[in-house]
A and B are shown apart, each in its own frame.
Chain A
Amino acid sequence: MKHKHSISVFCLLTVLAVASCSPRPHDARQSSQLPPIFPDYVDVTVPVDVAPLHFSLPDSVADYICAEARGKGAVAMEAAGRWADFDDEQWHRLLATNKGGDITMSVTARRPDGQWVRYRDFVIHVAADSLGAWGLTYRRIAPGYESFGTMGLYQREFSSCNEYAIIENTAVPSSCVNCHAARGGDPSAFTFHVRGAHGATLVQIDGNREWLSTKTDSTLASCVYPSWHPSGRYIAYSTNLTHQAFHEVAPSVLEVFDTGSNVQIYDTQTHALIVPPQLATDEWMETYPAFSADGHTLYFCTARRQPVPDGLTEVRYNLCSVSFDASTGTVGAQVDTLFDAESRGLSAVHPRPSPDGHWLLFTTADYGCFPIWHDESEQWLLDLHSGEAHPLAEANSPLADSYHNWSPGGNWMVFTSRRADGRYSWLYLCRVDADGHATKPFLLPQRDPATYYGTALWSFNTPDFTTGRVEFDVGAGARELVSDERIQVSMSRRH
């Protein structure tokens, strides 16, 4: 008994001794400045189920930080170390308790010279609603040109920093995966495209996989840029002849452009492509289709063909829409121009209708169809009721802001941005209110974000929300891909 008691005292003393080695702020100088934290989570609005917003200070500013988060009531949490590493459970309790309110962050940091500084407190707003999704799916790939190294499609649980691979191209060597989409964020209907020696388009519905060969003699190329019809029967694709040209003088790097593109609709039941002539014209290039949430409308972009690359700066896409009848799989004859970007000297791409049908989110650039390589690219919002469009000034940055998607509930959006260094695309989220205004975007949280984002050699592409975890049998899928057994899509007689 005495022996056991001695051991317990020894353990307690050891713990206390170890704990006492952690630095504690003392003689802290008060500063009126906000802490220069990375990521910048000052005054952002987050869903209640977001993962902990870990942050740090630059090494030149501090080598140790103590952060305290508090809301209403007695709940508070602390994190200390080289970076503010908040405990997951405590964080979620804190946010749940302060749903619809604010969390106040106090940061005290130790400068490299040993002086402690207490910065001005800042606030993180906790929205009353959750994200309405399990997480995000995206592609991770180096921001390269013609070659792809190790890359893949991934999914990320939103309430934690856990990321899981859906498929990496190590599973099928020399392949590239892209163009993934789920029906309304529901992963039970999922598609992605594989390029390379064993290229194919996957359509997986309720776990049943079909590998399609979507290139036909009558179409330009394989199907890309998918958008599911809410019924799950149709997928709108674009087919594009994509090329690129390289800028010789920095800061411009690359232009990606099409020499031709059409929009077509794939019928998952008949394995046939519907190619309406009004979406496959010779004089115009139609691309980036997106079904409305109710499935009655198909949005897309179209631009006059120009000689490229010399005439590239004259290629400007307008936003258009056409009706769609799911019962017959036919497209309306009339094409409406919703946003005449060309007349404004802009090019509008990536239309994304909000789930409630009120808004159409899109990206503008000075020209072209690939805005991520344009520093001037911005997020815009079109009010589908009034026809008015405005830039999402609160979300935009001086550098490229591009591809985006709505959360299933329509209150949040995720988009790619190169605001950090102009080269690598990261994911930002923000809330969009009923008036079409955005909150300050926040960077997707990561554990030890300074190291993660400071060393990441990949960009995040084509983010989307997912209501659940994407289940994909990589082993079986890879074997099927390598087998080269495909369903060849045919041409439908319907227009």
Chain B
Amino acid sequence: MHGRWLSTAAVAVVTFVVCVLLAPAWMSFHEQYQLFQSTGTYFLHHLSLPGGVAAYVAQWLVQFFLFPAAGALVMALLLAALHAALLSLARLRDGWPLASVLAVLPVALAARVLADVNMLPALLVAADMALWGVLLCLLPVRGWGRAVLTVVCMPVLYWLCGPVVWMAIACAALLALARRRWLWLGACVLSAAVVALLAYVTLPVQYPVARVANGLFYCRLPQYDATWQWLMLGALALTPALLWHLCRRRVRPVVLCAAVVAVAGLSWPVVSTGVDPVQREVVGYDYLVRNARWDDVVERAVQVPPTRPLSTACVNLALAQRGQLSDSLFHYFQNGPQGLIPPFTRDYIESVTIGEIYYHLGMVNDAQRMAMEAQACVPDGRLSARCMQMLLHTSLLNGNERQAQRYQRWLDNTLFYKHTTKDAVKSLQKASVPPRLHDGDLFYDGNNTEQVLARIVEQIPTHRMAYEYLMAYCLLSRNLDGFMHYFPQGQAIGFDHMPLAYQEALVYVWSQQSNDFSAMPWPVAPHVVQGVMNFARLYVTDRSNAALHEPPLSQTFWSYLLLGPAPATKPTTSSTIY
């Protein structure tokens, strides 16, 4: 009997290990884009909508995603509960070994659906609640009791779990059909009618019907392709009856082993194909930035070069935090100044990361702006813990304590953010916050980044990150006049050596006016001089030469300048909410 649950335990262990090793970024992403509140109002709001209770429970659990091990435990328990429910519903005597292996497949499918960061854990919690609800209906031994309980439970489940209840009804109906329990089958049909009527009568007027039908709380996006969601729910509905039909007898060990191998072999591709590579890249970099794991950002960039402006921006931020931006700028993929400070787009992920860049630059108003924009862009309208923290920090930095208190009141109702203000005040007192502009106001409209950076450098000459970003901005914009204009201000930074990217730019500038590199007034290393000569020779004689497109020559300023991506068009002026 104990062996029956070995497979469930295995599901839990595998899930735990996978989540801890491979999914911390995924968990952190979910945690940061919600703000669970331990208030009655919050609960009542969720209780007032179909599926709200499951979402409430899910959000409470997701708070623990802040800590990878705790989050992994939560996911392990949720998926194991799903597996256990499927097995229990199948109600097998002898065939449970094979059934316990086969039941892993729908669980893997559920994991696949959730691998998309826009699908919310509330779907999994709702599925768990619904399946265990069906189990509850099986408690009465007598047929009438079971039928009555089904008719009573299903509408309640609809309100607690949302449209996932259709999976529960289908599951119960299929089990009834498989076992020829006609009374119970009739009760399932009746409960379907009751649920449909309830859904119609209680339709929330401020939401489109399609959204209510697919579930208000299962996906972050208000409009999405719910095919995989319904496939998953269909598989969950079908599994118990199928297992009961296929696994009535015990099978030979060799068959069981083959099943284990097949399921294991199938499960991983099922789950991994649900991971969007772009999401993975963006979410992964954002997670590391959130936790200030600059070394890991750079290491990741080496292993998996960034392909998007946002990822490039994360790498550049990490390099700046390690004091390596001006040396290593061109050692990594660069796609223009938008890879330094990406232009604003209505995207909740990008805005948060851009806000981090502004924060470290000391552009506090812009950091706050990005937090507000990110908050506004969250597709399902939920508050974000991370945005709320940034709003609080920047309000304190701007001296607006009343505004900061407003945000702290929200954070007070969470498990792990009650001390945000205290921590922020401590940082302020220790001056462990980036230096920032205090006077000399100017406008920033996204088109005058150089001007704003130059103003910061002018006012705070020792602001290393601002200076490095200014110079990088000029280099990435191919603005050598600007580079030369701001170059002398680097003296105040106190570099212990001439940064490599600057040497490359200087030697290029010199090469446009003279071949005598010995007369250069700057300390450019001999290998840099040799490099530019090699590059120039190949560029002039054989532009298709492979050496030009491989390291070390491809990782130079000259390569970017002459062979890099075309300059991006200037961003248009911003629109407003007014």
Residues of chain A whose beta carbon lies under 8 Å from any beta carbon of chain B: 141-150, 152, 165, 167-168, 170-174, 176, 178, 242-253, 255-256, 309, 312, 370, 420-424, 454-457, 474-475, 478, 482
Contact = CB atoms under 8 A, between A and B. Distances in A.
A474 B204 CA distance: 10
Contacts of B495: none
B567 interface: no
A147 B376 contact: yes
B341 interface: no
A343 to B, nearest CB: 26
A478 B203 CA distance: 14
A146 B365 contact: no
A149 B376 CA distance: 4
A168 B204 CA distance: 11
Interface in B563-578: 573-578
Given A144-B373, A145-B577, 8 more contacts: A146-B373, A148-B376, A149-B381, A171-B205, A172-B208, A248-B455, A249-B365, A255-B443
A455 B369 contact: no
A145 B455 contact: no
Contacts of B141: none
Going nearest first, the 3 A-B pairs with the smallest beta carbon separation are A150-B381, A250-B398, A173-B222
A148 B443 CA distance: 22
Given A174-B222, A248-B444, A243 B573 contact: yes
In this complex, which of A150, A252, A424 has the most chain B Cβ atoms within 10 angstroms of its Cβ? Answer: A150
A256 B575 CA distance: 10
B443 A146 contact: no
B372 interface: yes
B38 interface: no
B102 to A, nearest CB: 39
A457 B376 contact: no
13 contacts: A144-B577, A145-B369, A148-B376, A170-B206, A242-B578, A245-B444, A247-B441, A248-B366, A248-B437, A249-B439, A252-B441, A256-B578, A455-B406
Contact of A422 (B223, B364, B400, B443): B400
Contacts of A178: 577-578
A457 B437 contact: no
Contact of A248 (B207, B344, B441, B573): B441
B442 interface: yes
Interface of B: 205-208, 211, 222-223, 344, 346, 351, 363-366, 369, 372-373, 375-378, 381, 383, 398-400, 402-403, 405-406, 409-410, 437-445, 452, 455, 573-578
A192 to B, nearest CB: 14
B222 A243 contact: no
Nearest to B374: A147
B399 A250 contact: yes
Contact of A256 (B376, B437, B445, B576): B576
Contacts of A422: 400, 402-403
A144 B440 contact: no
Contacts of A252: 441
A249 B376 contact: no
Given A251-B400, A420-B402, A149 B365 contact: no
A145 B373 contact: yes
* Interface of B: prevailing SS: loop
A149 B377 contact: yes
Contacts of B363: 248
A240 to B, nearest CB: 9
B577 A248 contact: no
Contact of A247 (B365, B402, B406, B574): B365
In this complex, which of B365, B400, B440 has the most chain A Cβ atoms within 10 angstroms of its Cβ? Answer: B365
Nearest to B441: A249
B421 to A, nearest CB: 14
Nearest to A309: B443
A475 B223 CA distance: 17
Contact of B440 (A148, A244, A249): A249
A423 B400 contact: yes
A59 B409 CA distance: 13
A171 B208 contact: yes
A454 to B, nearest CB: 6
A243 B571 CA distance: 13
Contacts of B452: 248
A157 B263 CA distance: 61
B439 A246 contact: no
B208 A173 contact: yes
Contact of A370 (B373, B406, B440, B578): B578
Contact of B577 (A146, A167, A173, A474): A146
Nearest to B444: A246
Contacts of A251: 398-400
B343 to A, nearest CB: 11
A109 B248 CA distance: 72
A420 to B, nearest CB: 7
B397 to A, nearest CB: 8
Contacts of B365: 246-250, 253
A251 B410 CA distance: 23
Contacts of B441: 247-249, 252
In this complex, which of A171, A255, A423 has the most chain B Cβ atoms within 10 angstroms of its Cβ? Answer: A423
A246 B364 CA distance: 11
Contacts of A255: 443
A474 B443 contact: no
Contacts of B377: 147, 149
Contacts of B211: 170, 173
A423 B394 CA distance: 13
A165 B206 contact: yes
Contact of A149 (B208, B375, B399, B438): B375
Contact of B206 (A168, A370, A454, A455): A168
A377 to B, nearest CB: 15
B381 to A, nearest CB: 4
B4 to A, nearest CB: 45
Nearest to A251: B398
B68 to A, nearest CB: 29
A29 to B, nearest CB: 28
A246 B369 contact: yes
Contacts of A248: 363, 365-366, 437, 441-444, 452, 455
A424 B407 CA distance: 12
B247 to A, nearest CB: 44
A476 to B, nearest CB: 10
A457 B395 CA distance: 14
